[in-house]
Amino acid sequence: MGYNSPAMSAFKIGINRWTMPGNWEVQTCLRVAKESGFDSIEFNMEMQGALSPQTSDAEASQIRQMADSVGIELSSLSTGVYWSVPFTHPDPKVREQAIDLCRHQLRLAQAMGVDAILVVPGVVTAEVPYDVAYERAKQALQTLAPEAERRKVAIAIENVWNKFLLSPLEMRQLIDEIGSDYVGCYFDAGNILDYGFPQHWITILGPRIKRVHVKDFRTEIGNIQGFTNPLQGDVPWMAVRSALESVGYTGYITAEVSGYRVFPELGLRHIADALRAVFKS
């Protein structure tokens, strides 16, 4: 049985499809997300599969139709492709491929009826200095902004462990330099905890925040093994909620976590319960 209690706040709680078992079909993901108590689900563009650059507009639109029939919203379209094909790559052909992938992501999002996509803006490496990464990322986003505006789908750049945009001031500066209402931030509260405080980032970025990801993080572990499900780590959850309310954010709070290795449906219900306790109580 689904959770049907009316929302008590402006926030909508969601789940990323990656939290679910990889062998679940789209229809199963939609149904279980609804039954678990989520308002929305976020799908991901992969290089191959149900949502990929090869997916047609009609096929992507079918996912929207299935979601409508189940009674669950689609919050945004995420992806992990920019880790292997970044806007900041030394090879200009790879950079052009990244831009092409983003165009497909924007196209699929529009066909699915969602108005934001998650984009990793680049990666600083030994071969790609920080300042070079910044200029390449800015150039790519400036190139893509008109496409985002035309499709009315926002490019939301995420703060991730990419050794890049390590300050909310830099994130704000980059977004403002693009100067488009359709380029903003996809803020991840858990990713910040290793090098900052989520409530500070939220108040500094303010209306530039297009979407919010949440996961928890155990700072005593301090590496990728420290990520965990909501309410099991050190994210200052009520400070995050207060900061989001203070900047007028209303919308999706999407968990992007590992979930449970066994009894995945139970894990999804627990994640929904945790998000509901923080954001809807």
Q: pLDDT by residue for the chain (281 residues), tens digit each? A: 333 334 446 899 999 999 999 999 999 999 999 999 999 999 999 999 999 999 999 999 999 999 999 999 999 999 999 999 999 999 999 999 999 999 999 999 999 999 999 999 999 999 999 999 999 999 999 999 999 999 999 999 999 999 999 999 999 999 999 999 999 999 999 999 999 999 999 999 999 999 999 999 999 999 999 999 999 999 999 999 999 999 999 999 999 999 999 999 999 999 999 999 999 98
The C-alpha angle 253, 191, 20, rounded to 5 degrees, equals 55
Q: Is the dihedral of CA 128, 132, 137, 142 positive or negative?
A: negative
pLDDT at 5: 39
Question: In sequence order, what E strands does 88-164 have?
Answer: 116-119, 154-158
